[in-house]
Amino acid sequence: MGLFAAVDSGENIRFVGDVARGAACECFCPVCRSPVVAKQGAVLIWHFAHEAGQERPECLPGSLNLLRRLAVQQLRQLASIPLPPSRLAVMPDPRFPSFQDVVTWDNSAVSIQNWDTAAPSRQPAAQFVHEGYIVNLFVEVGPSGAAIASNHEDGCLVFACPEPQEGAISSEADALKFLRLHGSLRWVFCPDFKGIAEGARSRLLAEIEDHMRRKRESDAEIERKTQLRISQIISQQAESAGRPWSPTGTAPQLQNQIAHGPEPVQTISLPQWMSWKKPKTSFYAFKTDVNSFWVVMQSATHDGCYVVPVPAFEGWDESLPPLIGTADLEREVFVSVGTPINQITTWFFERKVLQSRIDSDPVQIAKFIGQA
């Protein structure tokens, strides 16, 4: 872009359409301070050119710098500046992205006294206090308006205006109109002036806590129903085989009955996948062949279960239906999402199972499946 603005000997901003033609304009490059001439021909777009063709690449942004300076002058002349509305996104815990909100509010106008008209681009042109917060005001013309970064300690407001097209500005009147039509104030970082965002954050944290409480209650109920259903199935299978079986006691005692009683805890090496189980839940192990087992457990990292073939035989990834989950070939495990564990364990009990065992102790399960 050519120079559409320059400065005179008094450092006043002059536009190419507002000065005399040629060297009679008595203007200088705003960057290198070399004399310029006003090119006002009938063919090319009007512009300032360095005498004797001494233009340098670093001189080309000079007009944008002067347009920015004019914008600062115009803002400084205003009795008050209307602050744009505030808009803040609130997500108190990234682990729960569904618990988020966007809060908005209107702001009043402010009167600014502390200006730094000599501040370069990407430095605050003014600073003011609003609702107890310090706010820095930047004024930018061209791509620099999108590059302002905030330290998120002070408020950050920018008056941004795009770069004008070639020939769009040739006079001060053109420049003022361009700034009025295309310049706008926006927040780079908006402080929580009214405490609205903090209120939303507290509300969302309470909702997350309530969600976690209800999920814990739901998991406990699923565990209780699963154990009850398993005891019913085992009882039915035992009665069909002519072996009466009558479980008694609490749910943990029932697990010990099904598991044939507790055994001494030993220090042994356990399979890595056993660490994926959700705390305070049980393993459900099923022997489906002489040397084949499946172990079902609730996941500690997602809302669902893992179903592990022990050992991972050839074709294991195609041996279970889609309702069980999706095969993870790298970890050699089926991964279910959202399917209740009682639905998965019931599917196994209703098939041909040689033996089964329920236990929260990984050592006992490891012994049962021959991994200890």
Confidence category of residue 56, pLDDT binned at 50, 70, 90: confident
Residue with the two structure tokens 């356990």: 270
Q: Which helix (H) or strand (E) holds 306?
A: strand 304-310
Cβ partners under 8 Å of residue 309, min gap 6: 292, 293, 294, 316, 319, 332, 333, 334
Contact criterion met (CB below 8 Å) for 339 and 299: no
Q: What is the pLDDT of residue 245?
A: 54
pLDDT in tens, 63-89: 999 999 999 999 999 999 999 999 888
Q: Is the pLDDT of residue 57 over 70?
A: yes
Q: Is the pLDDT of residue 116 over 80?
A: yes
Q: What is the pLDDT of residue 134?
A: 92
Q: What mean pLDDT is predicted for residues 57-66?
A: 88
Q: Is the pLDDT of residue 158 over 70?
A: yes
Q: Is the pLDDT of residue 15 over 70?
A: yes
**Phi/psi of residue 226, each to 5°?**
-65, -45
Q: What are the residue ranges spanned by the domains of the chain?
A: 5-60, 77-194, 226-368
Percent of the chain clearing pLDDT 90 (strictly above): 52
Q: Is the pLDDT of residue 167 over 80?
A: yes
Q: What is the pLDDT of residue 369?
A: 92
In angstroms, the first-to-last Cα distance of the chain is 77
Confidence category of residue 37, pLDDT binned at 50, 70, 90: very high
User: What's the whole-number average pLDDT of the chain?
Assistant: 86
3-state secondary structure of 208: helix
Q: What is the residue type of 136? A: N
Contact criterion met (CB below 8 Å) for 294 and 309: yes
Burial class from Cβ neighbours inside 10 Å (0-12, 13-18, 19+) for residue 164 reads buried
Q: What is the pLDDT of residue 249?
A: 47
Report the range of poorest mean pLDDT among 108-117, 276-285, 337-346.
Answer: 337-346
Q: What is the pLDDT of residue 74?
A: 94
Contact criterion met (CB below 8 Å) for 297 and 286: no
Q: What is the residue type of 147? A: A
Q: Which of the pair, 148 or 219, is modelled with greater confidence?
A: 219
Candidates 165, 132, 371, 368; CA nearest to 263 is 368
Q: What mean pLDDT is predicted for residues 332-360?
A: 87
User: Rounded to an integer, what distance in angstroms lies between the CA atom of residue 306 and that of residue 87?
Assistant: 42
Q: What is the pLDDT of residue 263?
A: 43
pLDDT in tens, 192-211: 988 999 999 999 999 999 99
* pTM (2 d.p.): 0.59
Q: What is the pLDDT of residue 143?
A: 77
Percent of the chain clearing pLDDT 70 (strictly above): 90
Q: What is the pLDDT of residue 261?
A: 41
Residue with the two structure tokens 């920018």: 158
Q: Is the pLDDT of residue 351 over 90?
A: no
Cβ partners under 8 Å of residue 37, min gap 6: 22, 23, 25, 48, 49, 51
Q: What mean pLDDT is predicted for residues 251-276?
A: 61
pLDDT in tens, 288-339: 888 899 999 999 888 889 999 999 988 899 999 888 989 999 889 999 988 8
User: Rounded to an integer, what distance in angstroms lies between the CA atom of residue 85 and that of residue 49?
Assistant: 43
Contact criterion met (CB below 8 Å) for 2 and 168: no
pLDDT in tens, 135-154: 999 999 987 666 676 665 68
